[in-house]
Chains A and B, each alone.
Chain A
Amino acid sequence: MYVQKCIKGVNGIDLDRAKEMMQDEGLTCNWWRERARTPRTGIGLQEIGERLTHSNLYLHVNAYGAQHPDYAGLVFQETPFISLSAGNVTAPVFSRTSTVWSAHQTALDFATGHGTYLGDCFLFHCWVIVGLRSAVGVRALAEEVRDLKTYSQYSYYQGEGEIAAKIDVPPSQIEKFEHWRTTSTGLNQDPEFIDEWGNPGYIDPATVVNLREAL
């Protein structure tokens, strides 16, 4: 397993709500939030295992806006997964691909609604644990989503692209958020960085990796 740092772009919330999410609630999947809204039932623990399946992960990645074949809502309303942006690149990879996909850029792109959203938006910096092999049914492990045949912009050489977390990312794994604002859309957009807020309850992943320091 390895620790992957990721960024999640979110819009449609205000600054106070962003602080609540960072410090109290964490990042939750759409399924959780839909259930909390109507009929305010929440999700049952026994349901989680039923939803964490390969077929639901496939739909999350490849049919996000479609009607879910098994549930009442659309895939994005029923999904137990949370898309996170991951990306970093080394010089040898850049030499081979001539492309850098940065997690920051991808998250800001989603936060600004791909250039269509006006107002405040937020980039949450967090970490998750990713298994070296796929383990869709294990809630604690995030999945690397890297279909190189389909999503050919991603590199053959690097784990860049999308990470799918499951159910939630707790506040202790959220380091900070960036506050951005867009005042124009389309060709002349220019997202503006406003400020950055740290999470006092953040736990550095260095404390849980397989390395013990000697004093």
Chain B
Amino acid sequence: MNPLLQSILSAEFGFAIFRVMTPLLFASIGVSISRLAGTINISMEGTMLVSAFVGVLVSAFTNSLILALLAGVAAGVAMGAILSYFHLRLKADIILAAIALNMFASGITVFLLFLATGDKGSSSSLKSMLFPEVHIPLIKSIPVLGTIISGHNIMTYGAFLAIILFYIITFKTPLGLRIRAVGQNPHAAESVGINVNRTRMWALMLSGFFGAFGGLYLSMGYVSWFARDMTAGRGWIAIAAATLGGYMPLGTFLASLLFGAVNALAIYFASLQIPSELIALIPYLATVIALTIYSAQAQKKRHRKVEEAKQVGTIKETT
């Protein structure tokens, strides 16, 4: 059998997909929830970066995983809060403000990294901690399935929980209802007494909350150090994944799975005699193609609705 095909069909490849999709899943949940409220958070890149950095720093200086987790999440929520303050209170354009926040994150992490370690590239001189790997009893001894499902970082399992949490928040809580109402029609929501700005603020902070886990996983699970700009566009891929998933829990999950698979595939292609530059561009190119197909489909659907509405109209006129 073809060695490439063999490695793709192996259980390790399934394992790699989950490993790669974990940060994307967290981040795309974050993007989805903000988009449901009508204020898309495109500062996910910066949010993940800041959380990744804060997690490593706190774990290195306190030797406590819990404190690192709390600090990282707090940092993510704070990023969401800053964005909502500038967008909702100071009326900044959310896209420009988020671009500025991404630059801020990129600058402040390197600035503080240098002050903390004297190094601008990575935090390898700090002894930071890792989130543990979980070997699930019983399941881990099942052939193939055990290799794919068991032995992941606890954050990977957390990502699956996060999807469920996202579903519960969106569809089973009053806040979720308000978020969806505000996103669909802010004026209607306001007329029934929903505070639009406050709801959006919560959505943006929740978005930072979920994004923070993605960042923490990157620096304390995926690898064990912080490196400058280590998010490498994942925050943006997450936006594409969230769009593709229709901002819904299952859709977001499937889209992240797709991007995870493409990313993992790129890693496997590296074993072939193809220049690494050409492999590295695959996930980004795949994102553009997927986004285009999705947009074209959505447009077709819109057109069909318009056509149907027109037909209904003509029938009424003739009768």
Chain A bound to chain B = no
